Each structure stands twice: as structure tokens, then as C-alpha cells.
Structure 1
Amino acid sequence: MQKRWGAASLRGGYTAAWLVAAPLALGPVLMASPAQAQDFRFTSVAIEGNERIAPRTILSYAGIARGETVSSAELNEAYRRILDSGLFETVEIEPEGERLVIRVAEYPTINQIAFEGNRRIADERLGELISVQPRRVFNPSQVEEDVATIVEAYEAQGRIAARVTPRVIERSENRVDLVFEVFEGDVVEIERIGFVGNDAFSDRRLRRVLQTKQAGVLRAFIQSDTLIADRIEFDRQLLTDFYNSRGYVDFEITAVNAELAEERDGYFVAFNVREGQRFRFGALTVTSDLPAVDLAAFEEAVRTRPGQVYSPARVDDDIARLERLAVERGLDFVRVQPEVTRNDRDQTLDIAYRLERGPRVFVERIDIEGNTATLDRVIRRQFRIAEGDPFNPREIRAAAERIRALGLFASADVEAREGSSEEQVIVDVDVEEQPTGSLTFGGTYSSTSGFGAVVRFQERNFLGRGQRFSLEVSTGADDRVYELGFSEPAFLGRDLRFGFNVSYRETDNLLARYDTAIGRLRPSLGFPIAENTRLALNYTAEYTELSDPGGNLGQTISDEVDRGDEWKSSVGYTLSYDTRRTGLDPNAGILLEFGQDFGGLGGDSTYVETRARAVAQRRVWNEEVTLRATLEGGALNYTDGSSRVTDRFFLGPRRMRGFTLDGIGPREVGTDIDDALGGEMYAVARFEAEFPLGLPEEIGVSGGVFYDAGSLWSLDDPKGTILYEDFSLRQTIGLSLFWDTPIGPLRFNFSEAIEKRPQDEAQNFDLTISTDF
């Protein structure tokens, strides 16, 4: 026998039975007036209808003992307590003289639970969402709640038409099977996101700020184009932060409207905003009533300058510098409070940083919960304070941001509460783990190497220690790469990043008619030396095998092959200054790098390899257009021995678009000989602009233009007939298409060499993974 009950029928069936049972069982008692209220005394209590539930359990819920005098109100309470236990479908309490009869009808026991019709959410996941369980009492109210929970899970995926119907199948011995029949429905996506009241920035620019996206051609892969209330709230904060960081201190979101299309197949979301005026910094001063405070030193620590666009991030950075300086000078418990004076006439904000003595509060302890896989020390080292140190609320907030920036947790909440005394504070850290590893199987294709296969394993939280581990095997028609990488971000418990990389690569270079085998071992150690500045030290041991598979090689490479296998051993450093993520201007950033490797610590040669790179990026025209400029160069100088083709620089599409990897630079030519030799010096300048094309944003396509100019030159010991050994400029121009896809941002380059040499090998099309810089 089968019964079908929907959510309404569950409520209408079982609940109605409860409401009817009470008046029938206790009609004389419930309807008695206060004057007619009566008391009862029972010498015995009889329980009828129970099969699984023991009589003493029912009596414990009733709370009525033999021989006690009870009122009608107490009988009603006894009835309610038994019914609220959730064990019985109906309950009747009937006084019969000195005997009390309690009749119950037990709910059945759930034999098994099943799900039907679900494809988007697996049975295991649905089983985690519901509260009913096999071998427990069937409760219609509980089933109703589970139905609502399952529907909410589907609504979170944008399936607002989802329906869930519970079906009960009766079995013997008062048991039932419970089946949740699921109708998932289609995804109701966000067809359009619009803005009302925005003048400073276009709808297109503001949509890039939001986490929620419009439905596009890749809607089958993108999950952020559905309407989720929590995500909309997060978008409100993102939009507010975006405007505030650009000087719009009065920005306000007055409303967010989401309308469902008549066909119920899409949402139209509109953000109503009030931008206000843009403010800049006015006068910036430091004041204090504390004795022995050198205000001049603190004023020098303020990096913000009058006239710059106002941003709360700049104020926070200045406060952090001032508080660090106070600690360095032995001024504990000093807090910096910004006092803002608004000048509406010239649209500036004067900031007075006031140094004052804060309360004497210490950190009693730091409690960490929720880290089931990650070790406590990975989280604890994100704090710049320890137990017993003075409490600094700003440092606690900064530690919370550093914990979230690890990328190891789905959520991380850091809060402070009063400890064992008013002068003690306990910091609670509550995190939620998320997957940090990936195993990738893929394929590659190159116009020169053909098809290949790639297997890659990556773990960002190796053994729960916050370490990174990677293993990659790549095989192609002409190349085989085996690489293992490891990094420890807090070596010896300090802000030292230790890295270790070992790789082996074999190349059957059909174009150059020689083969290579290169093994490399490279440990490194990096650490900060100033704000935005890091220094990395490294050691490299490299084994190189250069062989002739029988091709027609020129004299230069033939002589290099005859030298046999060689070892290189070098130590080096890389100094970098990077403001791309920590700079004060959200629309601009620069990267400066300078590095050198010194060979001769063992090995077969002595040399110095120097590299330099400078990159600048800025968004202009209301942040619609991105401009980027790159200057890059390198030099290789040997004092003992000479370079080989495997040591020298090559340009190619990565450094200079418009040419193949061995397309420019010194070449040995002759009868059936055309060997690209590489160069010991190179210099390249790259300039590009990225801009919208006016296409629908959901397609994810934008355009760009670029201009590259550079040269590759210089050989230490050339043989044979060598072309282009001296500096000779090449220039290319081109167009780019950028496409955001689920596999990553792709870049298609179409280029034309406007200045080249006869032996150069141009490449008019190139496909790469797009990156900023």
C-alpha cells in the first residue's frame, strides 16, 4: 500500500489529527470555565496503543504520578509534552474515575530513505542535508523541514522551480520507506545586471567588480550567473569598497532590485546607486598629548600625500606604519585614531592622526577551531602577536586577512572576547577547510612538437603544513619534461620562503637538428627586506647533454656538441619591488626585478648572467582601458669557458611577439645549414593596450593592440658564417583577442613584423594563456 503526501498534505493530515484529538480526549476539561475547573486524583495509569515505546517513557513525558492531585491544566500540559516528544501520531488522555487512560498511536519507524529524480545533487550530498535518518521515528514535521532544505539547496544553484515531494511506502511491523521525489527544473539565470545612478563608471566596469555574473555563452560551466541572496550581499560590499577606494566617500547603494522575467526563465538585477562627489586628501598631520613622542619622526612615516585620491586603504596603511613605529620606539598600548575634517568646497579631507594611550589589555591566548587538516602553527604564524603581548585590534584584523589570503580555507572568522579578566583578551579563530589539491590529466599541442600528454599533481597544503608540492610529467613528440617542486612559506618558523625544484627535460629538436637533455636542481630562499621589496637567493646545479642525431649541423654547434656533457654550478639572487597588489593606487602597479647568477662554484665554466625587468600598468578612461609597458634585458658574460646554445638567450613569442622561438638573433648559415644560435645579450620593449570591443560582456571577449621592439645579439666564440651577431632592431605590431574561458583566460595574437632581417622566421599567429605581468 502506498500513500503520496506533499508538504501541504503532511501538514493537513497529521496536524489535523492532533488538533482533533485534543478536544475529543479532553473536551470536558478544556472547555470548563474557571469556576468549573476540577482536580483529579488517579490511583492507576493505563497506557494503551504503544508497541515500541516503553510505558515508563510515556509516563516520564506525562509527569503524572499515582496518588497526586492534578488539575485540568496539568492534564493539558501532560498531553502537550507527550505530543511534543515527536514519537506519536495521536495522543488521547481520558480520566476514568480514579484511573487515567493514555492512548497513543506511534509514528512508524523509517526503514530506508531514497532519492529519485536528482541528477545535479548526488544522493550522498542530499543525505547530508536532511535530518531524518533510517531506523528512527518518522515525523511529518521533520520531513517538511527536510523538503524545504532540499529545495533551498536547489535554489542556491538557481533552480527556483525545483520541487520535492516526499512519498511514504508502508511496510510490515509499523515501518515505512521514505522516498524524496525531486523535480530539479532548469536553472534560472541572471540575464542582465544593470546600474542606475552611475556616472563616473560604466555598467561594464562595475559588472567586473561583482562576484555575480550575467549568463553568457559559457553558462554551462559558470555557476556565478545565478541569483543567490548571500552573493548579492557580498556584491554590495564589493561595490562599496570599489567606490570608497576611489575617493567616493558618500557612495551609497539605495536598493537592489531583482525581477523575474514573465517566462520565469531569467532574472533582471538592478543596483540603484548614489555616487556622490570624489574627494582627495587635504592636509595630513600627526598630533599627540603623550610625552616623549617625536612627532617629526611620525610625520615622516606617513606616506600619503595631499592631492592624492582619498582611499580608506591608504589611511589604514598609514595607521599601521605609525603603530609599528610606536612599538619600535617602546611606546606600548599606543593607538592611532584618524580624525577627519571634511572640506566640501574644495572636496578634500584633512586627516589628523592622533596618537593616544589605549587601554592596557593583553592577549591571554589564541584559540583555533575548525582546522581538521591544517596544523595550528600554519594559522598561528599569521599573527604578529603572541600570548602575553599587548592587544592591538588592528593587528587582529590584519591577521584575519592574512589567514584568508592563504587560500586554504572556505571561511575564516577571527574575533576577540574578554578573557579571565578585564585586562585579558582571548582571540578566537574559526576556520572551515576546503580542498587544496588537484590532479590534472590533459593534452598539449604545438605546431612544432605535435600532440602530447600532461599529468600534473598539485597540493597547496601539503600534509596540513601550508607547504606547496607539485609533480608534473609532460610528454610530446619532441619533448619530455619531468618536474618536482616544493616550497615552505615559513622556513624555520620565520618569514622565509624555502623552495626546492628539480627537473629533467629531453628535447628532440628537429628544427635545429640537435638533441638536448638537461637536468636541474635549484633550491632557493626568499625573504622581505622592505615594504613591497623581497630578496631571493638561489643555488643552481645543472647538467647538460648536447648531442647530434645525425643532422647537418653548422660548425658552431658541432664544436659545442664535441665538448661533451657539461656541469654548471652557480649562486644567485633576485631583487624585486612589486606594488601590483599592495600599492596605494588601485588603478596602477609596477614590478621591478633585477637578478644575477654567478657561475664557477664548481662546474665547468665561470660566468655572470644578469637579468632585469621593469613593468608598469595603469587603467585609464574610467578604467575601461588597460595600458601596459615592459622593458626587459639580459647579458651573459663568460670569464672561463664559453657558452653553448643551451645556455644562451632566445626570444620567441614569450619575450617578443611576431617571431618563432628561434626566429631572430645570431645564425650560422651555409649550404643546408641554418642554425639559430641564441645570443648572449638581449633587450626588448613591449607596449600594449587592452580595451572592450563593444561585444556582449557574457561572451567574455575583449581586444588589444601591441607594439614590440627588441634585439638578440652577441656571441663569445663564433664559428663559420654568422649573421646578425651585432645589435639589429626588430619591430612588430599586432592585434590581440582576450577570451575568458573555464580553462583560463586565453590570448590570441595576430602580428606583423614591420622590421626584420631576411633569415628571420616570423610567426603571425600565437595562442597563449593570458596573464597580467
Structure 2
Amino acid sequence: MKGLLGFALLGIMSAPMVLAQSDLLGVNDSTSVRRIEFSYTDADRYPPRVSVSELRQLTATRAIPRRYRLQRLLGRTKQEDYILNPIELQRDVVRLRQAFQEAGYPHTYVGYAPSTLDRASNTAVIRFEITQGPPVIIQDVGFYAGSRFLALSLDAELREAWIDFRDRTSFEVGDVFTHFELVQIEDKVLSWFKDKGYAFATLTSSVHIYSGINAADISFQVDTGPRGFVDRIEVEGAPAVHRRVILRSLPFEPGDVFSQRDLIEGQRALFALGLFSVVQVETPPQVQDSTVEVRINLESARPRHISAETGYHQRQGITGEGRWTHRNFLDGARTLTLTAQIQTGLLASAGIGALAGRSARGAVVFTQPHLGFNQLRGILEPFIQYERDPLAGASSEIFGFNRREVGVSTTFIYGLEQTRVLSLRYSLSRTKNFTTSTSTDAYDKSVLRLGGTLGWTDNLLRPTRGVIFQPLIEQGGRIESWLGARPFGVNYLKMQLQVAAYWPLSRNVNFSGRFKAGRVWAGGTRSRTLYTSEGTQVIDTQFLQPTEDRFDPLRFYVGGADDVRGWSTGLAGPKAIRTQDRDGEASLEDGVYEPIGGLARLVASAEVRFRLSGPWYGAAFADAGAVSSERAENCVGPFFEDPNRTRDISIQCGFRDTGRITLRQFKVGAGLGLRYDTPIGFVRLDVAAKLNPDPLDLQSSEDALAATGGSQDDSRNTWYRFNVHFSIGQAF
């Protein structure tokens, strides 16, 4: 009853103020707000502290948006949301005034006298008029321990570190005072002392404002208490997990200097084990002396876990994965996982004239944490994989699979955070390529791979600020030669680097950019002399069978939903039209584009993302990329290995690759996108245009093949200049 009475009194008191301040005498219960404007009356004297977009976020009064009809059709809004409420309008004045006071402007005046009412349409234009006034300037800042300066109460070693931290963190004389920054400084100072061992440190602050001269004196009182050492670690809950598994995951032990940061890292490490559904690391109430008791509260997760998930990829179509995990296999926080993955190719949209991929993979994954120290873990993974590689020839095997790989890999991973990880992996496998056009090719692979992710971001799923570096070095076919074993089927050195940067341009607009570079050096003989009816010709071995099929997965490609978006996956660059032979004749129905790829790659992308409404975002982007291969003339077959032309050899004819990239090889695309924010990241829809397409980019593979054979004109389709990508996750 008191609440209703207070609300009524507020309405009685506020309504005359509304009418007195503005031309809103004709407002009634159905008056809607057509537009809201903000203006500063003293912007020439005091630069505006709060932007217009921030002011809009502070007010509850809403104006009819430009997309009102669409939002109403979607059921996301209704007419009542934009009715002018005089009481709420007066509350907006109070909110704006409080915001300026917290920002250090205690004398700000907010009114809406210039507001107008259109009686014909019964709509109002609300014009907030802000006289910001002078800010409160800090004239003195001090940190004290009782009646002494805080620095004098610390020992010499800690004093120097404290002075350096204080000078980087605290207010400076001449700064504008804000309550928000005051709270931030309090939190940082308290955390700093707790990280230095002062588990029971306390802090209070006092602010004295001289309103006559708009100045402030700020003092912080710090009681550090005794410096503490970890004395006892008490573990509660999760009796099935051995205590030593829990204790060895912690970055501290009894006798260490207390650190609040170590408690946070320990909680993160225990969660990373996957054994617990609840983890809480804290200091319980205790006597405040030089010993600190740490309590760990745990709740066990189910030791065995079954999961299944499905998704969609534009090139692989519908995908699925099933997983069974034992989270504490043989104790010691070891995990055993059985996985099955499938990429079906169903509903795939690989692009005009392109073929969708398909694969099935099974693996047994054994993970051993704490290999010597907490941040290092090892993974042993035997696996078998069947694949339909779109770059290889067709196969008569089940589901069209043209490659099988059986092997085992060993991986060592260092790091806990996803943006600070190093990994070393060695895999040994037996691969078999089988196509209808060539004989079966079986070979061994031995690959050593060193990679990492270094940098930081404010959010892994939707970063707005940060830089991420991802270097990779991969060596294939060398270890066995060092050990004196027979040569393996692939021999190469591969290096690549990806750098992504994120930066906010404003509250609702973010910029992201990416650069990718890579180079692969093939081992063994670089070229061979082949024989034709016209004589001899020197051909790169990378375009000869079976080397071509072996190296296709190792080469670099450009184009796709996460690359140069004007093109389909891999097709931004040289490509061939591959046909399937039927009784010695090329079939137009089976013609597909095969990207050639390259020994080197350069890609650069830029994107600006901006909020539209709620979880909806728009994006504008531009991409450019190139691979090192290019077309070569005078490649006329058939080719033979011997001068008598009795042993023919299959070859990818008409291309060369020196590993060098020139400016004319770059493909450029640009477009617009729509984003929908979900708990698992952005759902993305991008429409991109090819700015410098090749002739084949504007034709289907069937039309291009028919034009080559002379059965139809060499026509172009303008619509092929555009490409649509649907995907989930950050573009980069």
C-alpha cells in the first residue's frame, strides 16, 4: 500500500514539472515518442563526458525505431513500449543527473524544455538539454597505514614494488574524479596486497569534495595485517577422488607465501580436470595471524559421461559426433575417451561446380595430466579414418571413400588457458588412396608438429579486444631418416602463421582483422623429364601421380566461409575441371572444379561488426588472398615415363608452382553479413561478391567443360559473382 501511495505521490509531484518544462500540455495515455534527442548547452566550455549512445542506454523512455514495423511483425515489440510516461521521463532526468555525478560532474543540470508535441499525430519529440558544468578535479591522493604513509610501513623490497604499482594504478593529481574508478582502484589495491601474501588485508577510502572550487581530496586507509603462509589445505567433498590428485593440481602447497591469484589458478586447474561439477577454493573465517588455512569445497561429476552432438558445415554438410568418457580412468585424473565422428556431406553447399567432402573417424583417446608439472599433459590416440577427399579421384568404395588412414598420435600440451598453449605432436600412420582412375597407392606418414596459441582476448567466443598469434611448424618424413629407417611416403617442411586482432571502435561497433601466411617445401626430387609424342617436357613432381594425391591435403588453399568469402572453399585461385572417364569419354555430368592450391599462401581480412538490435548484428567485410600456383601453357599430353612411350603416367596438366606470390595473383572479395548471438557463438550469414573473378569463376564446371569441347558458347553468369555462406562461430 505504501508503494502504491508513493507511486501516486511521485506522479502528482512530477506531472506539473513535466508540463512546466516543455510543450507537452496535450500529452495523454496514447501519446507515443517519435524521437529522442540529446544536446549539450556548454559543449564549447566542457567537452561532453558521456556520448549520445551512452545517454540512450541510461534512459527508460524509448522512441519508435525505424525497424518498428518489422519488429512488431516478428513479435519483438508492441505499441505500448513507446507510450510517453511523464513519471518515467522525470526518472530519466534523475538517472542522467546521477550518471554525470558518478562521472565527476556534480553540478550537471538536465531538462527537456525544448520537447514538442505534434497533436495531429499525437507523437512527441523528447529533447534532453544537458548543462554539464565543470568536473571535480583531484588535488590530493594519499595511501596511509594509520597515521603514516603506507609506503613507509612496508619493508624495503615490497616498498619499491608498491610505489611502482601505485603510480601505475592510482588517481593522479589533475584527473577528473569518478566513483567508478574509485571502486576499481580499491579492488586492484586489495588484490595486489593479497597476491603478496597479505591474506587479511582490508581497505577503506574517503573522499572530501570542495564544491566551491570543484576539487577533491582522496585518502585510502590500508591495514595489511600480517603476511601469511599457507598452513593447512582442507579438502571437503568428492571422496572418490584421491587427495593427492587434488593437491598436485594446485599451484601452491603448505609453506608457500599466500597468494589470492594462486587460489584462482588452483580453482581453474581443478575444473580443468573434468572430475568436479563444483569447485570452490577459499579462505574460511580464521584467526588472522601468519598462517592461512585454505579450504577446497568439491562436488564430484559423474565419472562416466556419454555425449552426442550434431552440426552443419557448408562444405561437409550435416556432421555428428558421439563420445564416451571415463573421467578418472585408472585413477590419477586420467581420462579415457572413445569417439566417433562423421561428416556426411548431406545438404552440403560446396560451391558452384565443387564437390562436398565426407569422412568417418574413430579414435581411442587416453589423456595423462601432470606430466612432471601441472601445466603439461600427454595424449595417446590410436585412430582410423575414412575420407572422401574432393581433391582426389572418384572411388567405387562404400560412400565414395577414396582414402583410409590408420595410425597413432602422441601429443604433449603445455598450458591451461586457451590463449596460452603450446603443443608438440608426433603421428605415425599408414595411408591408402584408392580411386577408379589410378592404382591403389599405399604409403606411410611420419609427421612431427609444433604449434601454439599465444596472446589474449577479452572473450573467446566473441572477442572485441585483443591479439592472438598462432604459429605452426610441421615436418614430415624426416625422423625415420634420422633413425636410419626406410623413407616414408611424404617428405616436406611446412610453416604457417596466423595473426588476429580485435579492437572496439565504439560501444556497439567492433573491428577485427586477420593475416595468414604459409609456405610448404616438398622434399625429394623437384621435377621429372617426361616423354610425349612431341618430345620431352620437364614437369614438377608435385603434379604427378601418386605424389599429387599425397600432397593435396598439405597444400594451401584460399576461399571459403572463414577465408576469402567471395569464393567457395578452396576455389579462389587456379582450378582445373576434373571429369570421370566413361568408356574413354569425358562426362559433362561428372565434371567438378578441383582447386590446385599452392606451396605458399597469403591472406588478409578485415571486418567491422555493429549491433542492430538485441542479439542481432550486422557486418561489413573485405578479404584478399592468393596462392602461389598459376597456369602454365604448352602442357599437351599424354605423358610417358620412358622414351618408347609404353608406361603412361597421370598428371595434373597446365599448372606450375614456384612458391612465389605476385600481386596479380590476389583475389579480392567484399560483402555484408548478418550475425545472431547465441550461447555458443555467432550464427553467421554472409553474402560476398568477387571483385576480380576469373572466367571460370563465372561459369559452372559443366558449362566450362562444354565450352571447352565446343558444344556451347563460352557464356558467363553474373549471379556466380556472388557467394553465400552460412556458418557458426567467429569468422576469425
TM-score of the two chains, using structure 1 as the length reference: 0.52
Residue pairs, 1:113-152, within 5 angstroms: none
Helix, strand or coil: the match of 1:492? coil
Deviation at 1:431, TM superposition (A): 2.7
Does residue 1:755 correspond to 2:692, yes or no?
yes
Does residue 1:720 correspond to 2:653, yes or no?
yes
Deviation at 1:357, TM superposition (A): 7.4
- Counterpart amino acid of residue 589 in structure 1: G
Match of 1:647 in 2: 554
Match of 2:425 in 1: 538
Q: State whether residues 667 and 724 of structure 1, in contact with CA within 8 Å, keep that contact through their aligned partners in structure 2.
A: no
Q: State whether residues 229 and 292 of structure 2, in contact with CA within 8 Å, keep that contact through their aligned partners in structure 1.
A: yes
Counterpart of 1:676 (choices 595, 610, 626) is: 595
Q: State whether residues 630 and 656 of structure 2, in contact with CA within 8 Å, keep that contact through their aligned partners in structure 1.
A: no
Deviation at 1:578, TM superposition (A): 2.0
Match of 1:47 in 2: none
Which digits, 9 at most, give the CA deviation of each residue in 1:22-43, with x for residues without a partner? xxxxxxxxxxxxxxxxxxxxxx
Deviation at 1:549, TM superposition (A): 1.9
**Count of residue correspondences:** 495
Which digits, 9 at most, give the CA deviation of each residue in 1:306-362, with x for residues without a partner? 8999597788678777877x7xxxxx77998889797979999999998x9752644
Counterpart of 1:706 (choices 621, 624, 635) is: 621
Residue pairs, 1:76-87, within 5 angstroms: none
Match of 2:521 in 1: 637
- Counterpart amino acid of residue 685 in structure 2: F
Helix, strand or coil: the match of 1:679? coil
Helix, strand or coil: the match of 1:598? strand
Q: Which moved more, 1:565-574 or 1:524-533?
A: 524-533
Does residue 1:430 correspond to 2:297, yes or no?
yes
Q: State whether residues 370 and 433 of structure 1, in contact with CA within 8 Å, keep that contact through their aligned partners in structure 2.
A: yes
Helix, strand or coil: the match of 1:593? strand
- Counterpart amino acid of residue 637 in structure 1: W
Q: Tell me: CA distance 1:349–1:710, structure 2 relative to 1, closer, same or farther (3 Å).
A: farther
Residue pairs, 1:56-455, within 5 angstroms: 201=54, 287-293=151-157, 304=168, 310=181, 358-359=225-226, 361-371=228-238, 374-377=241-244, 379-392=246-259, 395-396=262-263, 399-400=266-267, 403=270, 409-417=276-284, 424-434=291-301, 439-441=306-308, 454-455=320-321
Q: State whether residues 468 and 488 of structure 1, in contact with CA within 8 Å, keep that contact through their aligned partners in structure 2.
A: no
- Counterpart amino acid of residue 545 in structure 1: K
Q: Tell me: CA distance 1:709–1:414, structure 2 relative to 1, closer, same or farther (3 Å).
A: same
Q: State whether residues 473 and 496 of structure 2, in contact with CA within 8 Å, keep that contact through their aligned partners in structure 1.
A: yes
Does residue 1:479 correspond to 2:358, yes or no?
yes
Q: Tell me: CA distance 1:443–1:431, structure 2 relative to 1, closer, same or farther (3 Å).
A: closer
Q: State whether residues 279 and 349 of structure 1, in contact with CA within 8 Å, keep that contact through their aligned partners in structure 2.
A: no
Helix, strand or coil: the match of 2:372? helix
Q: For the residues of structure 2 that align with 1:768 and 1:466, how far apart are their CA atoms?
A: 34
Q: Tell me: CA distance 1:447–1:738, structure 2 relative to 1, closer, same or farther (3 Å).
A: closer
Deviation at 1:217, TM superposition (A): 12
Counterpart of 2:502 (choices 614, 617, 629) is: 617
Match of 2:607 in 1: 688
Which digits, 9 at most, give the CA deviation of each residue in 1:244-286, with x for residues without a partner? xxx97999xxxxxxxxxxxxxxxxxxxxxxxxx9999999999
Q: State whether residues 451 and 470 of structure 2, in contact with CA within 8 Å, keep that contact through their aligned partners in structure 1.
A: yes
Q: For the residues of structure 1 that align with 2:417 and 2:598, how far apart are their CA atoms?
A: 35
Percent sequence identity over aligned pairs: 18
Helix, strand or coil: the match of 1:738? strand
Match of 2:533 in 1: none
Which digits, 9 at most, give the CA deviation of each residue in 1:55-100, with x for residues without a partner? xxxxxxxxxxxxxxxxxxxxxxxxxxxxxxxxxxxxxxxxxxxxxx
Q: State whether residues 483 and 501 of structure 1, in contact with CA within 8 Å, keep that contact through their aligned partners in structure 2.
A: no
Deviation at 1:607, TM superposition (A): 2.6
Q: For the residues of structure 2 that align with 1:375 and 1:206, how far apart are their CA atoms?
A: 55
Q: Tell me: CA distance 1:284–1:513, structure 2 relative to 1, closer, same or farther (3 Å).
A: farther
Helix, strand or coil: the match of 2:696? coil
Q: State whether residues 151 and 163 of structure 2, in contact with CA within 8 Å, keep that contact through their aligned partners in structure 1.
A: no
Q: For the residues of structure 2 that align with 1:282 and 1:521, how far apart are their CA atoms?
A: 66
Q: For the residues of structure 2 that align with 1:530 and 1:303, how far apart are their CA atoms?
A: 29
Stretches of structure 1 lacking an aligned partner (at least 5 in a row): 1-196, 208-214, 220-242, 252-276, 327-331, 551-557
Match of 1:593 in 2: 470
Which digits, 9 at most, give the CA deviation of each residue in 1:340-388, with x for residues without a partner? 797979999999998x975264433222222255554454345332124
Deviation at 1:610, TM superposition (A): 0.8
Q: State whether residues 391 and 552 of structure 2, in contact with CA within 8 Å, keep that contact through their aligned partners in structure 1.
A: no
Q: State whether residues 419 and 468 of structure 2, in contact with CA within 8 Å, keep that contact through their aligned partners in structure 1.
A: no
Match of 1:35 in 2: none
Counterpart of 1:566 (choices 443, 452, 456) is: 443
Q: For the residues of structure 2 that align with 1:206 and 1:217, how far apart are their CA atoms?
A: 25
Does residue 1:660 correspond to 2:597, yes or no?
no
Deviation at 1:457, TM superposition (A): 1.2
- Counterpart amino acid of residue 571 in structure 2: G
Q: Which moved more, 1:750-759 or 1:411-420?
A: 411-420
Match of 1:166 in 2: none
Deviation at 1:624, TM superposition (A): 1.4
- Counterpart amino acid of residue 770 in structure 1: G
Pairwise CA RMSD of aligned residues? 5.4
Does residue 1:494 correspond to 2:395, yes or no?
no
Deviation at 1:750, TM superposition (A): 1.6
Deviation at 1:511, TM superposition (A): 6.7
Helix, strand or coil: the match of 1:456? strand
Q: For the residues of structure 2 that align with 1:361 and 1:433, how far apart are their CA atoms?
A: 30
TM-score of the two chains, using structure 2 as the length reference: 0.54
Q: Tell me: CA distance 1:460–1:751, structure 2 relative to 1, closer, same or farther (3 Å).
A: farther
Q: Rg bigger for which structure? A: 1
Deviation at 1:479, TM superposition (A): 2.2
Q: Tell me: CA distance 1:462–1:631, structure 2 relative to 1, closer, same or farther (3 Å).
A: farther
Match of 2:385 in 1: 505
Q: For the residues of structure 1 that align with 2:392 and 2:214, how far apart are their CA atoms?
A: 66
Q: For the residues of structure 2 that align with 1:346 and 1:466, how far apart are their CA atoms?
A: 63
Q: State whether residues 334 and 367 of structure 2, in contact with CA within 8 Å, keep that contact through their aligned partners in structure 1.
A: no
- Counterpart amino acid of residue 764 in structure 1: N
Deviation at 1:593, TM superposition (A): 1.9
Q: Which moved more, 1:635-644 or 1:281-290?
A: 281-290
Helix, strand or coil: the match of 1:652? coil
Match of 1:766 in 2: 725
Deviation at 1:398, TM superposition (A): 5.5
Helix, strand or coil: the match of 1:367? strand
- Counterpart amino acid of residue 482 in structure 1: R
Which digits, 9 at most, give the CA deviation of each residue in 1:451-487, with x for residues without a partner? x663411649454727584612315366232143454
Higher RCO by CA contacts (8 Å cutoff, separation 6 or greater): 2
Q: Which moved more, 1:378-387 or 1:440-449?
A: 440-449
Stretches of structure 2 lacking an aligned partner (at least 5 in a row): 1-49, 61-70, 76-98, 107-134, 144-149, 346-356, 395-401, 481-487, 526-541, 580-585, 633-650, 699-719
Q: Tell me: CA distance 1:669–1:741, structure 2 relative to 1, closer, same or farther (3 Å).
A: closer
Q: For the residues of structure 2 that align with 1:280 and 1:471, how far apart are their CA atoms?
A: 61
Q: For the residues of structure 2 that align with 1:402 and 1:351, how far apart are their CA atoms?
A: 38
Match of 1:739 in 2: 676
Q: Tell me: CA distance 1:656–1:365, structure 2 relative to 1, closer, same or farther (3 Å).
A: same
Helix, strand or coil: the match of 1:646? helix
Q: Tell me: CA distance 1:684–1:448, structure 2 relative to 1, closer, same or farther (3 Å).
A: closer
